[in-house]
Amino acid sequence: MMSLTAWFSVFLICLLGAATPGPSLAIVMRNCVHRSRTHGLVASWCHALAIGLYALAAILGLGLVIQKYPTVFQGIMYLGAAYLVWLASKALRAGKSGFSLEKNGDPEPLTKAMVEGSTIVFLNPKIALFFTALFSQFIYPDMPWQVVAILVATVTIVDGCWYTLVSLVLSHHGLLPWLQRHGHWIDRITGVVFLLVAVRVVLQ
């Protein structure tokens, strides 16, 4: 079985990875501020489940397959970059009216948060390579399924709990009104983040 020291190493690396600002944080932030706390939580846990699937795929060798077929990897990267550009265009075109303290009309379906939270993961093949590099230090031949389950559960729970904390902080009744009043600037910032990540993907 996995030693406590090895598990803690995986836990710490996953926590640092989740806490690193990037497109995932921007997605959760927009769902919290633009929609609701529930949307933010749904996006957080759909993101976490997608991360868990990526971790499982990496353990089973998907990351090595992507490395072996660079054209597939490149195609997924470009598809991800195009998706980020599309998200950036939506964010940059959003006006002040997109953030209202009054909830008018029917709330947006939670499926939007589900799709955004998971898609941002699946269109980032670098996550598969990250997990391949990470797990290569801890996996071994004939590794029992219990250890695989522990690794995947750790990745999923750490990611989900981190973005749950982010969602709860962002949607706090003392902070949310301020965020909503300045929501158009949040859109601008997240749009720029998406564009910068897309440019980096294409250039690399």
Question: Could you report the average pLDDT of every consecutive run of 10 residues in the chain (204 residues)?
Answer: 82 83 83 86 95 88 70 75 78 56 58 91 76 72 84 94 90 67 68 74 69
Q: Using an 8 Å Cβ cutoff, are 100 and 177 in contact?
A: no
Residue 203 has a pLDDT of: 76
Residue 102 has a pLDDT of: 39
Residue 97 has a pLDDT of: 44
Residues with Cβ within 8 Å of 159's Cβ and at least 6 positions away in sequence, in order, are: 14, 18, 47, 48, 51, 52
Q: Which residue has the tokens 């230090």?
A: 137
Residue 177 has a pLDDT of: 66
Closest listed residue to residue 13, CA positions, set 123, 197, 151: 151
Residue 101 has a pLDDT of: 36
Q: What is the pTM of this model?
A: 0.74
- Using DSSP's 3-state secondary structure scheme, residue 128 falls into helix
Q: Using an 8 Å Cβ cutoff, are 142 and 68 in contact?
A: no
**Angle 78-137-1 (CA atoms, 0-180°, nearest 5)?**
125
Residue 158 has a pLDDT of: 95
**Angle 58-64-117 (CA atoms, 0-180°, nearest 5)?**
40
Distance separating alpha carbons of residues 78 and 59, to the nearest angstrom: 24
Residue 23 has a pLDDT of: 81
Closest listed residue to residue 126, CA positions, set 93, 185, 78: 78
Residue 181 has a pLDDT of: 66
Q: At what angle do helices 110-122 and 37-60 cross, to 10 degrees?
A: 30
Q: Which residue has the tokens 């998406």?
A: 194
